[in-house]
Amino acid sequence: MSLNLSSNGPAYVSREIRQGVPLSYVSEKLSHAIIDTHAAGVAHPEARKRLSHVMYSQTKAFLALHNVLGAADAQGLPELLLDMERHELHSWIAAVVKHGDLLGTGDA
């Protein structure tokens, strides 16, 4: 699978100063939600169509958090993630975390 890690583009970019929960914590929780949704799809294949809508929202938020929202435009991404083996999903998440820019500093 090709991982398009293009930037968000100017329409989604603004400078913000925040205080609160570290974004790495939010990223970790979203990745667990994506993994849990995948597990639900494996356990309940009859629910995959509905789960693909859940996966879409979670994935879009996760990619936006890491400033790689352009990757969300991949055709059928939620279904592709649901069809992956567990280790492939973990690798995809790790690639987003590694190549993304969680803090929006442009250092990624």
- CA atoms 102, 87, 50, 36: torsion sign: negative
* CA 1 to chain CA centroid, nearest Å: 14
- For 69, half-sphere exposure in the C-beta direction (CA atoms, 13 angstrom radius) is 12
Judged against a pLDDT cut of 80, whether residue 105 lies above it is answered with no
pLDDT of residue 32: 98
What are the tens digits of pLDDT across the range 4-55?
Answer: 545 555 555 566 676 778 899 999 999 999 999 999 999 999 999 999 999 9
Q: Which residues contact 69 (CB under 8 A, 6 or more apart)?
A: 8, 9, 12, 60, 63
Q: What angle do CA 85, 81, 83 make, to 5 degrees?
A: 50
pLDDT single digits (tens) 70-103: 888 788 999 999 999 999 999 999 999 999 988 7
pTM beyond 0.75, yes or no: yes
pLDDT of residue 70: 84
Contact 64, 11 (CB under 8 A): no
